[in-house]
């Protein structure tokens, strides 16, 4: 699928539409760490807090990894019960940066409406909760905070992004959403989803946001 505009890098957590009921849900990326010693492999294979993965690097060398889904364990690495010698819980902590580096597309989804709580392979921007369609193209945001900044940026008369936390994301917004003729419609649609998220979602959000990105014409910046 060709995506409407560049969506990497992403933050560690996202607001998504629940894959089961369509209501607002929370997605958190899993973190992967290398298993350094062969003797440690059985620990990670048998431990119910980790998934074991056999990976291959670009040269074809195999390496062993342990994957941890913080979203399934209280959204923290502090609940990791035990580790072999030489490993720290922080080996599976998210980086301190706003955006994550490379990593897995896997994570977990948690839905307060239907209590879904499981592993989920992200499909972006199809899973985005904050998405609006305009002239058969999709505009989306990572989460509530970036959606609010996106709305403010679209409606602002100037294009200075220096005061925005999500400025590198705003930088990638295709110009067609920012043009005079688009601003009003786009910002109103965005505002509607923001309000519905803030007031508790309802089914009309799902109805407007339920079109898969693949059905939309895609274009790049």
Which residues, in sequence order, are bridge partners of residue 133? 138
Complex with Zn ion: residue 18 or 147, whichever CB lies closer? 18
CB 116 → Zn ion: shortest distance, Å?
5
CB of 105 to Zn ion, least distance (A): 20
Supply 52's token pair. 């074991």
**Closer of 18 and 30 to Zn ion (Cβ):** 18
Specify the residue, 21 or 178, whose C-beta has the smaller distance to Zn ion.
Answer: 21
Binding site for Zn ion (CB under 5 A): 18, 20-21, 111, 113-114, 116
Nearer to Zn ion, 4 or 24 (CB): 24
Alpha-helical (H) ranges within the chain are 41-46, 144-155, 167-170, 180-198, 203-209
**Least distance between Zn ion and beta carbon 95 (Å):** 28
Is the Cβ of residue 20 or residue 156 nearer to Zn ion in the bound state?
20
The C-alpha atoms of residue 126 and residue 210 are separated, in whole angstroms, by 8
Residue closest to 189 by CA, chosen among 212, 165, 208 = 208
Closer residue to Zn ion in complex, CB, 111/170: 111
Closest CA to 205 of 186, 191, 192, 188: 192
Q: Identify which of 154, 150, 130 has the alpha carbon closest to the alpha carbon of residue 140.
A: 130
| Core vs surface per residue 121-142: b (16+ CB within 10 A) or e | ebebbbbbbbbbbbeebbbbbb
- State the nearest-atom distance from the C-beta of 191 to Zn ion, in Å: 24
Closest contact distance (angstroms) between CB of 48 and Zn ion is 24
Minimum CB distance to Zn ion, residue 181 (Å): 36
Give 11's strand partners: 99
């Amino acid at each position: 699928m060709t995506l409407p505009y560049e969506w990497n890098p992403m933050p560690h957590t996202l607001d998504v539409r629940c894959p089961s009921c369509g209501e607002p849900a929370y997605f958190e990326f899993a973190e992967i760490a290398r298993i350094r010693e062969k003797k440690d492999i059985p620990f990670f294979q048998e431990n119910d807090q980790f998934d074991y993965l056999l990976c291959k690097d670009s040269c074809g060398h195999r390496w062993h990894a342990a994957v941890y889904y913080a979203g399934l364990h209280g959204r923290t690495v502090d609940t990791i019960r035990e580790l072999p010698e030489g490993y720290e819980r922080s080996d599976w902590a998210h980086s301190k940066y706003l955006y994550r580096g490379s990593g897995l597309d896997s994570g977990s989804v948690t839905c307060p409406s239907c209590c879904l709580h499981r592993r989920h392979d992200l499909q972006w921007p199809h899973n985005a909760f904050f998405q609006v369609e305009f002239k058969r193209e999709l505009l989306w945001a990572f989460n509530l905070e970036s959606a609010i900044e996106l709305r403010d940026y679209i409606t602002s008369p100037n294009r200075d992004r220096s005061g925005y936390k999500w400025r590198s994301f705003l930088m990638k917004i295709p110009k067609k959403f920012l043009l005079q003729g688009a601003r009003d419609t786009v910002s109103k649609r965005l505002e509607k989803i923001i309000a519905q998220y803030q007031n508790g979602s309802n089914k009309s959000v799902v109805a407007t946001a339920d079109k898969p990105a693949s059905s939309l014409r895609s274009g790049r910046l």
